């Protein structure tokens, strides 16, 4: 990677290529690395089972949508609506399950496709605006940053929301800087808002409005913004794409809008003691923690982003001379989730994801601003770039080695191994096969891998009931909680071993036959 007074010929026609170029060998290396990362992400999507609780919960919600045929209201449990998020990510996962079956790849397939589409769209945008060298480098940093790589085929809301906000950012920039295509760009902007509203709700709208509004205010782009966006027809298009579902959802399960708007978008973020969460516990942290999350989730590229900041005066001067406002646009985009969530108390690391693409591109931009100050400018950028790239693959290789040597680590986070063991014992049994029950804890991965048949038992009475149902049932109990089982029930089961943190018990057939005597 180098910055020279003369750029490659193919990048000279770019209005703001900032003298950035890479050699043909470096280009080939980046392309190979991108291909390896894609293959690695596909393999992970196929081979790694769902873990509890987040991804398995959303995957099970999608599976229930396919099973029940209810495509309006996602279901937290059979007959229990899930009001926490809009259904776009559920629709996408459910479509994959419908096509590929109820397995981990099926639920992840179209989210992975969305990630590939978004990455290619951002690459094409960068190439048009900054040249191929810049685009390849920025794309590699983006797709290998920790949060982006993990979310790219994970069954959650975050990547679909990122797709919507990124479309907004691309389309808005194009509408202002390429007015010849302003109608197409303007409608794409409102389609991006619609994607965000169906993926995560009003929060996605705000996460697009903050960077755009801040940049418009900073660069005084009010006139271009007003003239180049189809505000009336675009808003009508956005409402036509989103409003019907919100109306149908409220009519089908009254109370949804009150919980979703006030609970999920007000109390969750501003009330650290909020007790109204229907689907879990709050994640209370000191205000401002979101900035730490941003640095952690951008690894291994965080040093690549921060080191140029040591030349603060040079960066400030470069921002002042930013004629096309590119650097300022990236800065507003990258900082927007941190600004929005700075005062929030209940937050997750994934909340920074909408700023990750801009953080990646801003990393390249900062090195472009500062590298020319060195006697040998390319040595520093090469060193940090190579170190971060090696770190990414070293982390992946280490994780692969750890889980290969110690597969029990996955068993502690997923019930797939326990479900497989249960199925094996069911096939070997001569008694009427029963169901799998969990003692006082719900595991969404178990529900997914048993097609919704795994159930939770809360009371002693429920446990006694399955002992008299005429079937040979299974009971999974946390190994540390075996003593919590009723004493008269424990002897009715045979210990089938420990899998992860759970002990699997199988009902003894001889005792079952005794209990069924008149």
Tens of pLDDT, residues 316-328: 877 777 666 888 8
Q: Residue 327's pLDDT is what?
A: 87
What does each C-alpha distance from 461 to 305, 465, 489 come to in angstroms?
58, 6, 11
SS3 229: coil
Between CA 442 and CA 61 the distance in angstroms is 14
Q: Residue 24's pLDDT is what?
A: 81
Between CA 414 and CA 410 the distance in angstroms is 6
Q: Residue 149's pLDDT is what?
A: 93
Q: Which residue has the tokens 């945008």?
A: 125
For 126-165, give one letter per residue: b (16+ CB within 10 A) or e: bbebbbbbbbbbbbbbbbbbbbbbbbbbbbbbbbbbbbbb
Percentage of residues in the chain having pLDDT higher than 90: 43
At residue 476, φ and ψ (nearest 5 deg) are -105, 125
Give the number of other Cβ atoms within 10 Å of residue 494's Cβ.
Answer: 13
Residue among 136, 113, 115, 112 nearest 124 (CA): 136
Is 378 a residue whose pLDDT tops 70? no
150-164, 247-261, 299-313, 369-383: the lowest-pLDDT one:
369-383
Q: Residue 516's pLDDT is what?
A: 46
Structure tokens, 421: 């063991």
- Determine the average pLDDT of the residues in 115-130: 94
Q: Residue 3's pLDDT is what?
A: 46
The average confidence (pLDDT) of the chain is: 84
3-state helix, strand, coil in the chain (%, to 5): 65, 10, 25
Structure tokens, 146: 């920790």
290 Cβ contact partners less than 8 Å away, ≥ 6 residues apart: 337, 338, 341, 342, 344, 347, 351, 352
Residue among 451, 452, 467, 462 nearest 510 (CA): 467
Structure letter (DSSP) for residue 259: I
Residue among 141, 148, 150 nearest 304 (CA): 141
What radius of gyration, in Å, describes the C-alpha atoms of the chain? 26
166-170, 309-313, 326-330, 474-478: the lowest-pLDDT one:
309-313
Helix (H) or strand (E) run with residue 234 in it: helix 231-252
Q: Residue 393's pLDDT is what?
A: 77
75-84, 237-246, 396-405: the lowest-pLDDT one:
396-405
Residue among 249, 287, 293, 253 nearest 271 (CA): 287
Q: Residue 100's pLDDT is what?
A: 94
Q: Is the dihedral of CA 324, 325, 329, 331 positive or negative?
A: positive
Residue among 302, 74, 87 nearest 198 (CA): 87
Structure tokens, 170: 């691309």
Better-predicted residue by pLDDT, 455 or 402: 455
């Amino acid at each position: 990677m180098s910055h020279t007074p003369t750029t490659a010929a193919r990048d000279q026609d770019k209005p703001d290529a900032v003298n950035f170029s890479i050699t043909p060998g470096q280009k080939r290396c980046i392309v190979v690395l991108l291909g390896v990362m894609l293959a690695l992400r596909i393999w992970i999507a196929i081979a790694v089972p769902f873990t509890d609780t987040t991804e398995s919960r959303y995957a099970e919600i999608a599976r229930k949508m396919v099973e029940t045929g209810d495509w309006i209201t996602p279901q937290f449990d059979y007959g229990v609506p899930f009001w926490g998020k809009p259904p776009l990510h559920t629709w996408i996962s459910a479509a994959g399950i419908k096509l590929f079956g109820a397995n981990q790849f099926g639920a992840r397939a179209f989210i992975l496709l969305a990630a590939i589409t978004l990455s290619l769209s951002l690459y094409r945008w960068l190439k048009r605006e900054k040249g191929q060298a810049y685009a390849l480098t920025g794309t590699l940093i983006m797709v290998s940053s920790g949060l982006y790589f993990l979310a790219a085929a994970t069954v959650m809301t975050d990547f679909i929301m990122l797709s919507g906000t990124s479309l907004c950012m691309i389309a808005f920039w194009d509408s202002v800087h390429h007015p010849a295509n302003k109608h197409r760009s303007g409608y794409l902007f409102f389609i991006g808002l619609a994607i965000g509203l169906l993926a995560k709700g009003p929060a996605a709208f705000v996460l697009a409005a903050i960077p755009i509004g801040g940049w418009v205010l900073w660069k005084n782009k009010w006139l271009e913004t007003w003239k180049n966006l189809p505000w009336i027809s675009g808003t009508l298009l956005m409402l036509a794409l989103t409003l019907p579902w919100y109306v149908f959802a409220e009519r089908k399960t009254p109370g949804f809008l009150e919980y979703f708007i006030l609970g999920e978008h007000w109390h969750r973020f501003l009330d650290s003691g909020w007790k109204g969460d229907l689907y879990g516990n709050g994640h209370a942290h000191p205000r401002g923690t979101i900035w730490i999350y941003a640095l952690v989730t951008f690894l291994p590229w965080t040093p690549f982003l921060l080191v140029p900041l040591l030349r603060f005066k040079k960066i400030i001067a470069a921002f002042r001379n930013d004629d096309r406002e590119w650097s300022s646009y990236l800065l507003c985009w990258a900082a927007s989730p941190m600004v929005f969530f700075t005062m929030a108390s209940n937050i997750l690391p994934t909340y920074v994801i909408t700023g990750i693409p801009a953080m990646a591109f801003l990393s390249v931009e900062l090195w472009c601003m500062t590298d020319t100050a060195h006697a040998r400018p390319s040595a520093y950028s090469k060193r940090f770039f190579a170190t971060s790239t090696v770190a990414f693959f070293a982390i992946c290789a280490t994780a692969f080695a750890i889980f290969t040597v110690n597969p029990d680590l996955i068993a502690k986070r997923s019930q797939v191994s326990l479900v497989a063991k249960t199925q094996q014992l069911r096939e070997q049994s001569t008694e009427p096969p029963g169901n799998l029950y969990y003692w006082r804890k719900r595991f969404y991965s178990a529900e997914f891998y048993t097609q919704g048949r795994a159930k939770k038992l809360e009371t002693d009475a429920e446990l006694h009931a399955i002992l008299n149902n005429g079937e040979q049932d299974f009971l999974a109990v946390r190994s540390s909680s075996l003593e919590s089982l009723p004493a008269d029930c424990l002897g009715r089961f045979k210990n089938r071993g420990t899998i992860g943190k759970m002990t699997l018990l199988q009902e003894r057939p001889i005792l079952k036959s005794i209990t069924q005597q008149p």
